[in-house]
């Protein structure tokens, strides 16, 4: 550093002058330039004081704004930053069969949760990417849930269910690299019998955003698991229970300091169904891998003992993340169609309705005898007899036993289309049965108005004759056909099929008298018994079963193979069970394909083993 010497320089030795000449200083020069000589040394101090006043005033104003104007908002934010809400989902009610055997219950598993407030919104995207990669969960599904809950939500959000040990280990190993993810125990739906009765059981699944918006008014919340099909959906209000949860205080690291509040979750109610597990198993085995359905019910009150449809599915897969492979299989097999409640041509099983219309109108009384032919010519349409020759003169009982088309075609043409349609609907065809399941189809009983609307053509005698043998436009579900067979079985009552178990003493709650003549019921029963004892249903005329009555049906179903039907009830004198078997596009007759299926179910119900050969 260079110093400025303000002292006079030494005089040279040879100099004769002793006079000192003072040199002006730098400060003196500046004073001359500015003209200021007083107070200059206090300028910096004053400037610092002024700046301090301005800064303190701004800080004070900001504190005033934060504490007074925005105090409540900030206190709430601070509270949320240390308060965590841990929801506790209720345990879903169990499903039992009529004898108390478990059909659906819950099991413990692990789920992954996110806490949105664990970090800033801008940091979540990378965090979610890592979590999705660890869990094998689509990143967009996690992002959607966090967006839906809100990034300021103090509530944990479930992002994955039924974690595997490998997923849990991965979370723990990489915990230092991910924020806000936790693993906790939860209960999920479990079906111990797998695919059995899957169409009746249905399945459960978490509400998506659209479903949540629709159900929020009913008290549902994000993360709710609800019944999506079958009795799980039908009895949802009973099974669901009520949410509970914990309110926790946590520190900056997310460590729980104390429990601030707790509400116990209220479990759902158990529901006992009318299904009989052993009969259901027998029906599943009888249908096997055939496309079709089997329905068994109690004709006294409409209790459904078994309901089977194939293809079927395993409802357990919906209790965890569905893999792409499983989803592909579900798309290919389309197993969610419950064929027990879908309409198909009922074929000759419908002749019960035709005979009823003939006798109840009085136009064809119980002692009627009609000639039969190789075919019946109606309005240019030929209705052929299945044996291509006719059976000669016959009455109701023999016509039912041998399933004569020309006999029943004459009855149908004689009573007329409107009358046949009336008795069809009286039996419950063309309308839902009222069973609790929402997947039910009403089938179809066409009339003149329907045909004009669909085909711009009037109803003809040919349409009536086709209907009289269960063909043409007529569509009936296996469940509807079972309800039809219950009428002659129980003495003339139309039952309402149901799955909620009620006392048999309360049977009048589930049935309505059709007020048929006793003679009509008597002839129907005799004819159906003759089918098994001497007609097309001899496969059920076996000594180890009580006397059985029933009817076969073989429906034309172009362009595919024919459908096979058989409906029956037993014991004949005091019926306890109705069984209907349907095989879609089986290509065989009802007596040869469907009747053995009915027999197998009845053997299970009556615990009757066939004799060994």
- pLDDT tens-place string over residues 447-458: 999 999 999 999
Render pLDDT for 430-482 as a digit per residue (tens, 0 to 9). 999 999 999 999 999 999 999 999 999 999 999 999 999 999 999 999 999 99
pLDDT at 38 over 70: no
In whole angstroms, what is the distance from residue 384 CA to residue 403 CA? 12
In whole angstroms, what is the distance from residue 589 CA to residue 604 CA? 23
Q: Environment class of residue 212 by beta-carbon count within 10 Å: exposed (0-12), middle (13-18) or buried (19+)? A: middle
Do 213 and 352 lie in one domain? The reply is no
pLDDT tier at 19 (50, 70, 90 boundaries)?
Answer: very low
Q: Mean pLDDT, to the nearest integer, of 263-278?
A: 94
Do 427 and 449 lie in one domain? The reply is yes
Q: Mean pLDDT, to the nearest integer, of 196-202?
A: 97
- Residue 325 within any structural domain of the chain: yes
- Residue 123 within any structural domain of the chain: yes
pLDDT tier at 44 (50, 70, 90 boundaries)?
Answer: low
Output the pLDDT for position 88.
Answer: 78
Do 247 and 384 lie in one domain? The reply is no
CA proximity to 292, closest of 591, 580, 605, 610? 580
Q: How many domains does the chain have?
A: 2
**Which three-class secondary structure state does DSSP give residue 310?**
strand
How high does pLDDT run on average in the chain?
86
Output the pLDDT for position 561.
Answer: 93
400: phi then psi, degrees, rounded to nearest 5: -70, -40
In whole angstroms, what is the distance from residue 578 CA to residue 489 CA? 8
Do 227 and 374 lie in one domain? The reply is no
Look up residue 596 and give its two tokens. Answer: 């053995």
- Residue 443 within any structural domain of the chain: yes
In this structure, of 11-25, 246-260, 328-342, 590-604, the range with the lowest mean pLDDT score is: 11-25
- Residue 377 within any structural domain of the chain: yes
Do 267 and 281 lie in one domain? The reply is no
Do 217 and 288 lie in one domain? The reply is no
Cβ(256)–Cβ(244) below 8 Å: no
Cβ(149)–Cβ(113) below 8 Å: no
Do 290 and 141 lie in one domain? The reply is no
In whole angstroms, what is the distance from residue 453 CA to residue 568 CA? 36
Cβ(132)–Cβ(138) below 8 Å: yes
Do 474 and 575 lie in one domain? The reply is yes
Residue whose pair of structure tokens reads 């009286």 in the numeric block: 426
- Residue 218 within any structural domain of the chain: yes
Do 293 and 417 lie in one domain? The reply is yes
In whole angstroms, what is the distance from residue 116 CA to residue 234 CA? 34
Cβ-based neighbours of 450, under 8 Å, separated by 6 or more: 473
- Residue 70 within any structural domain of the chain: no
Q: Is the pTM of this model over 0.95?
A: no
Cβ-based neighbours of 160, under 8 Å, separated by 6 or more: 111, 112, 135, 137, 167, 321
CA angle 202, 203, 204 (to 5 degrees): 145
Do 418 and 516 lie in one domain? The reply is yes
pLDDT at 31 over 50: no
Half-sphere exposure of 472 (CA within 13 A, CB side): 24
Look up residue 103 and give its two tokens. Answer: 């059909």
489: phi then psi, degrees, rounded to nearest 5: -65, -40
- Residue 9 within any structural domain of the chain: no
Task: Give the whole-number percent of the chain exceeding pLDDT 70.
Answer: 84
Do 137 and 236 lie in one domain? The reply is yes
Chain mean position to CA 290? 24
In whole angstroms, what is the distance from residue 214 CA to residue 220 CA? 9
- Residue 452 within any structural domain of the chain: yes
Output the pLDDT for position 12.
Answer: 44
pLDDT tier at 583 (50, 70, 90 boundaries)?
Answer: very high
The residue segments making up the domain with residue 113 are: 83-272
Cβ-based neighbours of 319, under 8 Å, separated by 6 or more: 109, 161, 162, 188, 189, 190, 204
Do 479 and 492 lie in one domain? The reply is yes
Residue whose pair of structure tokens reads 């045909």 in the numeric block: 451
In whole angstroms, what is the distance from residue 111 CA to residue 158 CA? 7
Integer CA distances (angstroms), 267 to 89, 90, 101, 106, 241, in order:
9, 5, 19, 11, 5
pLDDT at 73 over 80: no
Q: What is the CATH number of the domain that holds 199?
A: 3.90.1310.10
Chain mean position to CA 285? 24
Residue whose pair of structure tokens reads 């589930």 in the numeric block: 510
Integer CA distances (angstroms), 492 to 299, 426, 481, 497, in order:
10, 11, 15, 15
Q: What is the CATH number of the domain that holds 479?
A: 3.40.710.10
CA proximity to 497, closest of 359, 342, 303, 362? 303
Cβ(425)–Cβ(445) below 8 Å: yes
497: phi then psi, degrees, rounded to nearest 5: -65, 140
């Amino acid at each position: 550093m260079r110093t400025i010497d303000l002292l006079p320089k030494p005089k040279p030795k040879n100099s004769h002058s002793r006079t000192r000449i003072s040199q002006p200083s730098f400060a003196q020069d500046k004073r001359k330039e500015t003209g200021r000589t007083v107070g200059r040394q206090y300028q910096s101090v004053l400037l610092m004081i002024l700046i301090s006043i301005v800064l303190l005033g701004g800080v004070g104003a900001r504190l005033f704004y934060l504490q007074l104007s925005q105090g409540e908002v900030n206190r709430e934010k601070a509270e949320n930053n240390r308060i965590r809400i841990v929801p506790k989902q209720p345990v879903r009610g169990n499903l039992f069969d009529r004898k108390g055997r478990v059909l659906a219950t819950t099991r413990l598993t692990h789920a992954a949760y996110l806490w949105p407030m664990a970090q800033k919104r801008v940091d979540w995207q990378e965090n979610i990417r890592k979590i999705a990669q660890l869990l094998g969960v689509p990143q967009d599904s996690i992002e959607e849930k966090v967006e839906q809950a809100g990034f300021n939500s103090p509530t944990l959000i479930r992002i994955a269910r039924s974690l595997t040990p490998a997923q849990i280990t991965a979370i723990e190993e990489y915990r230092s690299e991910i924020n806000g993810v936790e693993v906790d125990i939860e209960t999920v739906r479990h079906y111990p019998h797998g695919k059995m009765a899957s169409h009746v059981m249905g399945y459960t699944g978490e509400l998506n955003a659209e479903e949540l918006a629709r159900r929020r008014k009913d008290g549902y919340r994000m993360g709710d698991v609800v019944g999506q099909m079958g009795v799980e959906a039908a009895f949802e209000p009973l099974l669901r229970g009520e949410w509970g949860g914990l309110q926790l205080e946590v520190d900056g690291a997310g460590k729980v300091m104390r429990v601030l509040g707790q509400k116990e979750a209220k479990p759902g109610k158990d529901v006992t169904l009318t299904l009989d597990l052993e009969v259901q198993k027998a029906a599943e085995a009888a249908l096997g891998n055939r496309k079709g359905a089997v329905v068994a019910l109690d004709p006294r009150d409409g209790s459904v003992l078994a309901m089977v449809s194939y293809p079927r599915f395993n409802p357990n897969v919906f209790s965890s993340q569905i893999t792409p492979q499983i989803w592909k299989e579900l798309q290919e097999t389309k197993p969610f169609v419950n064929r027990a409640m879908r309409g198909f041509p009922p074929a000759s099983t419908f002749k019960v309705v035709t005979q009823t219309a003939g006798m109840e109108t009085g136009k064809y009384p119980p002692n009627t005898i009609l000639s039969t032919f190789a075919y019946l010519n109606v309005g240019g349409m030929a209705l052929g007899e299945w044996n291509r020759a006719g059976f000669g003169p016959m009455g109701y009982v023999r016509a039912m036993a041998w399933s004569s088309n020309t006999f029943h075609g004459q009855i149908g043409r004689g009573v007329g289309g409107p009358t046949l349609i009336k008795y069809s609907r009286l039996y419950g065809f063309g309308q839902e049965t009222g069973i609790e399941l929402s997947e039910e189809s009403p089938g179809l009983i066409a009339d003149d108005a329907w045909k004009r609307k669909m085909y711009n053509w009037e109803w003809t005698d040919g349409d009536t004759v086709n209907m009289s043998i269960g063909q043409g436009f007529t569509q009936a579900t296996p469940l509807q056909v079972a309800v039809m067979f219950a009428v002659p079985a129980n003495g003339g009552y139309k039952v309402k099929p149901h799955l909620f178990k009620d006392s048999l003493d309360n049977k009048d709650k589930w049935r309505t008298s059709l007020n048929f003549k006793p003679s009509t019921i008597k002839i129907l029963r005799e004819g159906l018994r003759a089918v098994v004892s001497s007609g097309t249903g001899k496969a059920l005329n076996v000594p180890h079963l009580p006397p059985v009555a029933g009817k076969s049906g073989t429906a034309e179903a172009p362009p595919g193979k024919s459908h096979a039907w058989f409906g029956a009830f037993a014991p004949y004198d005091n019926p306890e069970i109705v069984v209907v078997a349907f095989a879609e596009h089986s290509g065989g007759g009802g007596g040869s394909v469907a009747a053995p299926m009915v027999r197998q179910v009845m053997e299970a119900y009556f615990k009757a083993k066939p004799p060994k050969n």
